[in-house]
Structure 1
Amino acid sequence: MTVAAPYLYPHPEPSVASVLVVRTDGTLPQRRSASDASATPDNRLLATLARAAPADLAPVSALGLETALEAMADASKLALAADLDCWLTWCASERRLACPADPEDLVRYLRALEADGRKPATLARRIASLATVHRLLGSGDPPTSAAMVRNALRGNRRRHGAAQRQAAPLRFGAGLGQTSGFTLSGLLAACSGDVQGLRDAALLSLGYDAGLRVGELTAVTLADLRPQADGTGLLHLPRSKTDQEGVGAWAWLSADTMRRVAAWRAEAAIAEGVLFRRVGVDRRRQRSKELADARWGDEDLATAALLVTYTIGDAPLTRQGVTAIYRRIALAAARAGLVDVAPGELDAAVAALSTHSLRVGLTQDLFAAGEDGAGIALTLRWSSPSTALRYGRRLQAQSGVAARVLSRVRK
């Protein structure tokens, strides 16, 4: 279906006449992928396990392997396959046996990763993945539990520290207090009024309100939304990283978010299915009979009308697509002077934004408002209050008991 629509361009308004078309038939250009997009996570992992299995491997229970895969999330299977690929590449270069692994080889592998600049958390995850691989292949006690391997991990943490790099927060700003760097309010103000901008604003607003992980955000469907009488909404989360068994959870959505979602749905003509989809944008100059002017010459081609076609896809956004959206809008906000970022720090500030930035930003805003870690962990579906505290550690120091008591007497 093709729908002509008069669009406004508040950020910025184009200097030429525009003809805008929205196509909702879901036909989008195909992106190239280095891997086979049709391969399932199960097939990807099984193929990698087959490469790792030794020639003399004892028979593995097919039923046991099947149930093990059923218990894993798709993201875990892909991560396991990627970690195993890394180990297989190192073993091939060093001419070492991949499975069963020798503890000394594992220590040498860890040192190679450290020399390559990998963080302690990455090393720990790689070893944990190899332990899972050995259990899946029925290789007995995993060599990853050997004392020298555990000691190598502890030594790495002592040298480099165990603190993990945190995604740059996208805090709300505006009514919740001023903060430096990018803010949700600044990014929302930078979203344009066309169909792509409406999608971006709804994506940012909903992701912040509900504190969603990227997998939860891209999986939201229209059936998950429950509008309330006061204009707010509820979002049903049937499954999440910490709820693999599908118990389900609910998140609150502001009236502003519900309005932005409604605007995006109306312009994209989405009646069912996934909410946040790819928008293909095709901008071309045209010299149609209706728009041509007898005064135009070839040298004035730049003044011809701009034909903009938006194509709404059917498939959900990807993790990489969400990251690209955040960073594109952040650049637009900086260029429009809507955020407080020094010019020399702009590139680093944009690169620090990730799919976790909205979740971190909401966590920090709740800490700054005086909410306790247990309540925040429950609201954002953290596995424990300690995880929430890690994201709000600096703000917790500013609003903790020492700050509250001593600020009254030590001025």
Structure 2
Amino acid sequence: MTILVVEDRKTDRKLLSTILLSSGYEVAEAVNGIDALKYLRKSKPGMIISDIMMPEMDGFTLLREIKKIEDLSNIPFIFYTAHYVSEKDKELATSLGASRFMIKPIEPKDLLNEIKTTLEEFEIGVIAPVNSLIETEEDYLKLYSDRIFRKLEEKFSELEDTKNFLDTVLSDMGDGVMVTDPDLNVIYCNKRMHDILECDIPPGTISPDEHHSPCIPDIVHASHKPFEIEQITQKDNIVHLEGIVSPVINENGDLTFHIGVFRDATGRNRIQEAAEKKNREIAGLYELGNRFGNCVNSDELIRCALEQIVDIMELEGGIVYLIKENKIEIKWSVGLPPKFVELLQQQSLDSPAIQKVLDPDNPVTISPLSAHIPGLTESEQVTVEESIITLQLRLKGSLIGMVDLMASPYRDLGDDEVLLLEKFGMQFAVTLNNF
């Protein structure tokens, strides 16, 4: 006689099958209720032994479906469970028509005795009846959902215990830790993960969420391999995360969790990006002087030089003006506030604002933009936060012009940048004088 064993846990399924085979029974196996129904469409076993808690279709629903099929409804059905162990669970099982309700673990001898007794009862026509109180789907769903809800309450309590354990172990880690289920619902995040993303991530949050959790689907394919991603925090800041996501596989080969470990690499990346930007800037400044020979006149030279240096240094704007007979002659400007250009046109070489930056020993200086605009009120000066990099154009020691470059607040210049700007200024002045 064949006994169908329905059990999602591979270890339990193989153990039960081994016991049955050693006692002379033939065995068929299914991993859940749906798998069992597929088997039952083709074959009719002499008995079914089923777990209750299984994915896709649990044991309660399986028995309910079997009782609807006339040719299968009289098959002896035994529940063998480790999770649904209360009297209410047993009542629902027997009401659905289960012949026996056994709780794991059980001694093999006792298990085989229960199977033998059940088969003997079946031989003499004793078949467990279906309780008339749950003949309708509404009645069944009411009882079934109550059992599931109670079980979820128990699991939630277990989850809270697990969370407390994880908090104890992982809360002070320097790296962020996130655990999700196979559907990417967040199960657990430690304190560091909350801090990195600048928000609380409640259990049940679905990933990805730009304000909650890293885009795990984009990196799951790189399991066990380091990766780096950008993430938007709850406060709309961008953080650079590096880390690794590993799948957790159960004994059946099924995915049960994703565990991700994340590190905030924002500070390190910013330093690296700043260094790379500085290197590009220095290389661009070094090459800029070599482009002057392509200009056909002084106007083209001035426009080309100003636009190129603003672009290379990623500045907000700039202006080139020449000094003629102690007066300022603006030649080209881009991106500067109109008031700055207007007031600069009114200045002379003797103006205090100009004299502040005319140190022959320091041909490159940086100062607040407000210092270059005379006549601003105190409140207007507060709103003008940009800095001005001033580059003197000198030919044989004599000042022939200046370049003002508008930079972001608190812009700093490295020694290499200052030297290259000085070199650029000398080449610019010489080339300009040749036209």
* TM-score (structure 2 length as normaliser): 0.22
* TM-score (structure 1 length as normaliser): 0.23
More strand by share: 2
More helix by share: 1
Larger Rg computed on CA atoms: 2
